[in-house]
Amino acid sequence: MVTIYDISKKTGLSASTVVRALNGTGYCSQSAKAAILNAAQELGYVPHQAAKALKSNITQKVMLCIPDIMNPYYFAMIQGVTQTLERYGYNIILGYTMHSPKKELEVLESLKGRYVDGLIFGSFDYTPSLIHAIQSTGLPTVITSLYEYSQNQDFYDCVYINQPRAAWIATEHCLENGHTRIAFLGGDVKEQNTRERLEGYSKALEEASLSVDKSLVINADFTREGAYHAFHSFIKHGGQCTAVVACNDLMGVGCMNACRELGLDIPHDISIISLDNTDYCLCTNPAMTSVDMMQGQVGEEAARCIMNRILEKRNFQKNTAFSPMLIVRNSVRKID
């Protein structure tokens, strides 16, 4: 890496003169400044960004923190955040918390070093302790779910998809096609993501005058492997349903894999609908009906909100909700 001392050696001028010329501060003759700038260009000198950040307290970086780097749900969100930040001259730093509350708190603790200007934080389960840890960073923050904090909420924005509505849409689509024994394939019911989606599933059944059968609520972990094992076990132990609402595309794929291994035809024996509508839905056979969760739009709006807080110093909460949309393909059949 070329340093100011390399420029000093090439021009024969002192290091302090080089610094003044490069920073545009203090006295430096026009001839000396021209020589220094020419030498810097010839040598390929690049200012040390960390040093500039320390001086100005501006890093021009925003962290997007997500719980699962392998989940395709986040791919469009990452793209939306990245492209929007670039328009402001900002870069993204990606944080990965491994779906671990402990890791979430560790990442937030590290951010107290102020190596980013703002934070977009995704979690499967927002809690008072997590929100308090976010507040402790002192960073402008956007979270990607709706969470109503009992204390001051002005330090963060919520940009999110209406998750109960998404699960309602998926369940309603199955009901409209004549299904009444509809399984819910979700994550841990103690976590916010699953609770909200189970709420939408339950509401759709209740509106159809159907009670929620707890034996049809299957718990996995939002992964393909977890869904495969959970649904395989459900069927092997006598579970019966004609349709499945899978809480993400990975779980939908895992459910499909279990069905094939068990000799069940999709959609003739089991209909499957998922939430997310990632490209994975186009890679299954049959193509999977899914509910679009607007991840790209959530990412774009989250980035706009965080830049508004950073640049305009906004200090009041702004919440934005997106409505999910049904994308019909071939994995749900109509029961005559």
Listed residue (294, 300, 295, 278) closest to 81, CA to CA? 300
Per-residue pLDDT tens for 173-223? 999 999 999 999 999 999 999 999 999 999 999 999 999 999 999 999 999
- Alpha-carbon distance of 296 to 282, in angstroms, equals 18
For residue 3, name the pLDDT band (cuts at 50, 70, 90). confident
For residue 195, what are its two tokens? 């609770």
- Alpha-carbon distance of 17 to 213, in angstroms, equals 78
pLDDT at residue 53 tops 70: no
Amino acid identity of 96? Y
For residue 48, name the pLDDT band (cuts at 50, 70, 90). low
Q: What is the mean predicted confidence (pLDDT) over 128-145?
A: 96
Per-residue pLDDT tens for 285-317? 999 999 999 999 999 999 999 999 999 999 999
For residue 112, name the pLDDT band (cuts at 50, 70, 90). confident
Helices (H) and strands (E) counted in the chain, each on its own, are: 12, 12
- Alpha-carbon distance of 99 to 125, in angstroms, equals 9
Please give the pLDDT value at position 243.
98
- Which of 29-33, 112-116, 254-258, 264-268 is predicted with the least confidence, judged by mean pLDDT? 112-116
- Alpha-carbon distance of 205 to 173, in angstroms, equals 11
Q: Map out the domains of the chain with their CATH numbers.
A: 4-47 (1.10.260.40), 57-162+295-323 (3.40.50.2300), 163-292 (3.40.50.2300)
- Alpha-carbon distance of 75 to 183, in angstroms, equals 27
Please give the full DSSP string across 18-43, using - where no structure is assigned.
HHHHHHT-S---HHHHHHHHHHHHHH
Q: What pTM did the predictor assign?
A: 0.84
